[in-house]
Amino acid sequence: MVDQVRIRREKLAQLQQEGQNPFAQTKFEFTSNSAEIRKNFEQMEGKEVSVSGRLMTKRGMGKVMFCDLQDAAGRIQIYLKIDEMDEATFERCRKLDIGDIVGVHGDVFRTQRGEISVRAHEVVLLAKALLPLPDKFHGLTNLETRYRQRYVDLIVNPDVKDTFVKRSLILRELRSFLDGRGFLEVDTPILTPFEIGASARPFYTHHNTLDMDMVLRIETELYLKRLIVGGMDRVYEVGRIFRNEGMDPKHNPEFTTIELYQAYTDFHGMMDLVEDMMKQVAQNVCGSLVVPYQGHEIDLGHWERLTMIDAVKKYSGVDFRDWKTDEDAIASAKAHNVTLPEVPTKGAILAEFFDAFVEEKLIQPTFIYDYPVEISPLAKRKPDDPAFTERFEYFINATEFGNAFSELNDPIDQRGRFERQVAERKSIEPDCRAQVDYDFINALEYGMPPTGGLGFGIDRLVMLLTDSASIRDVLLFPTMKSLPNDK
């Protein structure tokens, strides 16, 4: 490695001494890419083309060389013969290194072995690679190095690029679906004036001009619902979210969500929307409603719907309806070795039973609805059972993929829930800076129509549709601990 770096630096110095700065070129006009040439070979055979990209292999001796050129669309072979170009140019090509970026003018032909190629007449060095690529036999396999040096990962592992191309297609399809339903894409603030009472931990920063602490948002919900109040009846945002919490294969401190809100519908309308949206995205991106994921065949054409009470009873045998008091729930949790929540109410304990017995069983797409009010501060209460809310989450492969409500639009109820939520946070964390968003309460007091809301993570959806095991596999630049400066 050290010798290769030294040799490349020496080649650079030699070129510069000869007045050939390999970084001086400002542009290169290419006419075709590798995929176009392969697809349209019969029409392009014998025609002049210009291609550009990175040299990935170089072989041959004497008067003939073969190189593989990698561009944005794939690879194409470059054929170089001393009799068909200037001898000085051929000698410069001989000194090129794997990884160098070049432009090639030549004609399209097929070699005697049948390989579609470009016969080079002129080669221009556009950028010198001063570091060698990983060798072609072992590649870049260390996961941490791949995540830290995604630029190298993309060069040497073509399937990685395919994942991120598909990510872009997924986002395009999601936008297409929502735009087709009359939703308007909007932007809301990332920097917010204070920490809301939710349990997610934020990142803090400071605004120098205003001389005030600010918070990176943990959700986009409250601003989007202000827009519903303002008469924008269908809105969504593709938003970057920041949470100062743990990291694992399903969590990164910054991630991408879509939150959407539709006036005059409820959480049942959101369930129907999720089903239709997931089917369209899967079919248009993957070509099928059945997608492979980590050893399972996930059928996005069929969705089960269960209340949380019925799901807990189905998988644990425990019936919430048998609990008359919080003490009954606590006793049942202890008997079943279920962790007690910080505030051990019946509803909160039901959610712990769900986590302990149900979630890991939900492999095929499943809606779980009717959540306890204790864990749903923004959802509307069920009219016939105010201990529960009109809320659902949907699960695939034992993972929560999205969260939806019939949104709470009663400002008095909302104020009470926010104030209790903040009080509970401060009883557990006396030094926390959580506050009630009274401006949002003020907005509700102007009147918000009945509204269905949905939020879901883009990264987990991309993991599912690309069969990726870790969220880091679908983030171009996942959060990593810094290395010492000498590394």
| Average pLDDT in the chain | 94
Q: Residues 6 or more apart from 43 whose CB is under 8 A from it? A: none
Closest-CA residue to 375 (of 392, 400, 357, 398): 392
**CB 393 within 8 Å of CB 402:** yes
| pLDDT, position 6 | 93
Tokens of 481: 């601990």
End-to-end, the C-alpha distance of the chain in Å comes to 15
The domains of the chain, with CATH numbers, are 2-133 (2.40.50.140), 156-303+365-474 (3.30.930.10)
Q: Which amino acid is at 333?
A: A
pLDDT at 197: 75
Residue numbers in the chain where pLDDT is lower than 70: 1, 136-139, 486-487
pTM (two decimals): 0.91
Count other C-beta atoms under 10 Å from residue 110's C-beta.
Answer: 12
User: Which tens digit of pLDDT belongs to each residue from 126-150?
Assistant: 999 999 998 764 567 788 889 999 9
Q: Can you tell me which residue has the tokens 């697809």? A: 39
Give me 326's structure tokens.
């919080």
CA distance 106 to 117: 10
How far is 250 from 105, CA to CA, in rounded Å? Answer: 47
Give binding residues for Mg(2+) as ranges. Answer: 393, 400
pLDDT at 486: 58
pLDDT at 2 (0 to 100): 76
Cβ count within 10 A of residue 190: 14
* Rounded-to-integer distance, Cα 144 and Cα 429, Å: 35
DSSP 357-386: IIGGG--S-EEEEEEEGGG-TTBPEETTEE
| pLDDT score of 477 | 95
- The tally of CA atoms less than 13 A away on the side-chain side of residue 95 is 17
Which residues carry a binding-site annotation?
A: 393, 400
Dihedrals φ, ψ of 93, to 5°?
Answer: -65, -35
**What 3-state DSSP class applies to 56?**
strand
Report the DSSP pairing between strands 399-406 and 64-71: unpaired
